[in-house]
Copies of this chain bind each other. A is one copy, B any other.
Amino acid sequence: MTSIVVDPHLTVVTSEHLADRYPDAVIDEGEDAVSRLRSAPTPTAFITSNTTWDDAFLTGLEDGDWITSVGSGYDSLPLRALEDAGVAFTNSPGVNAPQIGEQVFAMAFMYTRQLWTLCEQQQEHVWSRPFDDLTDLTDDVCCVVGLGHVGEAVAERATAFEMTVRGVKRHPNEYDGIADKVYGPDSLSTALEGARLVVLAVPLTETTRHLIGTSELAATASDAILVNVARGPIVDTDALLAALEDDELRAACLDVTEPEPLPRESPLWDRRDVFITPHTAGLSNKYSSRFLDRFDAQYERWRRGKALNYRVV
């Protein structure tokens, strides 16, 4: 008999979602994850996330258990301790890729199709056409920095919008996706040169912190739109503000900021050439069903003793 425990702090996937599919296996009595894990029959599949993880959970886990996170990041998980305890860990990269791919273009279109201005006109019942600033992405260069699941989802959509897609990837030789050309990290400025849409989709590491600064912003087209759906510190905010002041950039679309939440006094809020969304790019009411479809296959593999996909430990 295997059991399933869902971290009660999760919102995108809940015990109710799991109980619909596995009514006999879900253990949801007990207020916190630790008490649920302790009372669950062994072996246990535990669903949690990078942001809700607590090392106290370890006390309820044992050899043969399996932890899966609902997202891709896992920097808060104690990988070595899990390995020592014989607990498997898998992550779920790409479950958020479709909605983030959509959000990237949603944010860019605020500027190309002048949606912000048109919303305001509607509120005033005004029918007036802002000719000069209307443009489209077709035939422009899109530079996608980071070609993981999210970057590839962006590249696929950019291709459909008839853009030329350049990608930046740590190991460009290993790439077999849709981007027209792929550059290594050392060639970032070349990849950015003349790009009108720049999308940041790299993980935050010591190497990528403030990856986008003054010289990178100068390399893009002067009417480029920068979209950050990665992590706030990838962009040097002071350099960004300076580039916007100097008209070296058309607009910055920021789903992530440094810090988060963005303080009320930040100069970013009041700029018309900055569009801020509160880290919502990965959210979608389809998240749980996408995660569960993947969980189903993994759970079946785990119960049969087969190798798990997306295994980290």
With A118-B277, A132-B285, A285-B132 already in contact, the answer to whether A269 and B125 are too (CB < 8 A) is: yes
Of B115, B132, B135, B278, the contact of A115 (CB 8 Å cutoff):
B115
Query: What range describes how many residues of A lie at the interface?
Result: 35 or more
**A280 contacts the other chain (CB 8 A):** yes
A102 touches B98 (CB 8 A): no
With A162-B98, A284-B136 already in contact, the answer to whether A113 and B118 are too (CB < 8 A) is: no
Complex-state Cα separation, A264 to B121, whole angstroms: 11
Residues of chain B within 8 A (CB-CB) of A101 are 161
**A116 contacts the other chain (CB 8 A):** yes
B122 touches A115 (CB 8 A): no
Complex-state Cα separation, A11 to B278, whole angstroms: 39
With A102-B161, A109-B105, A119-B119 already in contact, the answer to whether A134 and B261 are too (CB < 8 A) is: no
Q: Name which residue of chain B comes closest to A101, CB basis.
A: B161
Complex-state Cα separation, A127 to B160, whole angstroms: 32
A102 touches B106 (CB 8 A): no
A99 touches B283 (CB 8 A): no
Return 29 A-B CB contacts under 8 Å, by A number: A98-B161, A102-B112, A102-B113, A105-B106, A106-B109, A106-B113, A113-B280, A115-B115, A116-B119, A118-B278, A119-B275, A122-B275, A122-B276, A123-B269, A125-B266, A125-B269, A127-B262, A128-B278, A129-B279, A131-B283, A132-B285, A133-B285, A134-B284, A135-B286, A136-B284, A136-B286, A156-B160, A157-B161, A159-B160
